[in-house]
Amino acid sequence: MAGTEAVDPRYADIDNWPTSDAVTAMIEGQRAAIDALNSQAGAIAAACEAAAQRLSSSRGRLAYAGAGTSGRVAVQDGVELTPTFGWPHERLLYLLAGGLPALLESAEGAEDDVVDAAKQIADHAVGAADVVVAVAASGHTPFTLKIVEDARARGALTIAIANNAATPLLGAADHAILLATGSEIISGSTRMKAGTAQKAAVNIISTTIMLRLGKVYQGQMVDMIVSNAKLQRRAAGIVRIITGCTEEAAVDALERGDNGITKAILIAKGATPEQAATLLSENDGILAKAIAAFERQ
C-alpha cells in the first residue's frame, strides 16, 4: 500500500496514547495537509485561469464531482458560491456518487457505479461550456474517473484533485492537482489529512475563479447576496469603503439599488439606479468595468 492507504507505524498504538498527545498529533497532521498545497500553487493557478476564461466566455456551469468524503467536500464548497459571490444557482452542478442523498447518509458503494456517472453526465448535458472539478483522495475512484473521462470527451474543462501520485484521475483531466498528504494518522481515514487538503484546494480554486471573473473589487465581496440584517450592515460597509460615502448615503444607495452592492456603489458614485443597471448589464456585471465606463461618461 502507498500514499493515503499506507500504514504509518508511528501511530500504530495511538488508541492507547494520552488524549492530549493524540490531539497534538492530529493537529500536526492537519498542518502538514495544508503544507501539501505549496508545491501545487502553479498548477492551481493555471487551472483557475483556464476555468475563468471558459466560464467568462459562456453561460457554462461550474460542476463539482466526487464520491464519499471527497464528494461531500466538493459540494460543501459549491453551495457557498451563491451567497458569497452571487454565482447563479443554475450555473452550479453537483455530480455526486449516490446523488444528493449521499450528502447526509453514506453511500460508499456508489463510488463504483460508472453507469450512474455516465448517466449523470448525459442527463445534465455536460459540455464544452462547463468546468468540472473532480475530487478523489485515492485517484482511482471509478465513479469520479468516469465523470472526468466523459466530461472531457464532451468538451468540458476538467480539473482533478487527488492525494496520490500517478493515478488515473490525475492522468484523465486537463488540469491535475496532486495533494500528496501521505498516510493518515488513523490508517485509511481520508476524512483527516486528505480531506483537509481537498477542502483548502477547492476553496482556493473557487475563490480564485471568482476573483478572475470580477466578483471581487478592492478586496471586497461586491456580488455578495444581502439576505439578512448582518449582511445588510456588511454591504453598507462595503459601499462606504469603496466610495468613501457616509453611512447614510451607503444605506440609501443600497435601498435605491435593490440591495445590490454593485448597483449601490455606482449609485453612491452619482449614477441613477437606471444608469447603474445599464452599466452593469453592458459590462458583464463586472463592477470594475462598469465604474470605468461610468467615469468615461
- Return the CATH number of 3-212, one of 3.40.50.10490, 3.40.140.10, 3.20.20.140, 3.40.50.300: 3.40.50.10490
What number of CA atoms fall less than 13 Å from residue 66's CA on the CB side? 29
pTM beyond 0.85: the answer is yes
Q: Is the pLDDT of residue 1 over 50?
A: no
For the chain, the domains span 3-212, 229-296
pLDDT computed for residue 108 by the predictor: 65
Catalytic residue among 49, 108, 111, 295: 111
Report residue 53's pLDDT band, with 50, 70 and 90 as the boundaries.
very high
End-to-end CA distance of the chain: 65
Query: pLDDT tens digits for 77-120?
Result: 999 999 999 999 999 999 999 998 888 887 768 999 999 999 99
φ, ψ for residue 178 (rounded to 5)?
-100, 120
Find all residues with CB under 8 Å of 179, minimum gap 6, and list them: 33, 36, 37, 40, 161, 162, 163, 194, 197, 198, 201
User: Above pLDDT 70, what percent of the chain?
Assistant: 99
Q: Is the pLDDT of residue 72 over 80?
A: yes
Return the number of other C-beta atoms located less than 10 Å from residue 284's C-beta.
Answer: 11
229-296 has which fold?
Helicase, Ruva Protein; domain 3 (1.10.8)
State how far the alpha carbon of 72 is from the alpha carbons of 22, 64, 136, 212, 271, in Å: 26, 10, 11, 25, 43
| Span 207-230, average pLDDT | 97
Active site residue 28: no
Query: pLDDT tens digits for 174-211?
Result: 999 999 999 999 998 898 999 999 999 999 999 999 99
| Span 71-78, average pLDDT | 96
| Span 20-42, average pLDDT | 97
What number of CA atoms fall less than 13 Å from residue 6's CA on the CB side? 14
Query: pLDDT tens digits for 236-270?
Result: 999 999 999 999 999 999 999 999 999 999 999 99
Catalytic residue among 28, 80, 248, 255: 80
| Span 26-34, average pLDDT | 96
Report residue 2's pLDDT band, with 50, 70 and 90 as the boundaries.
low
Active site residue 80: yes
Q: Distance between CA 195 and CA 30 in Å, rounded?
A: 9
- Mean pLDDT over all residues of the chain? 96
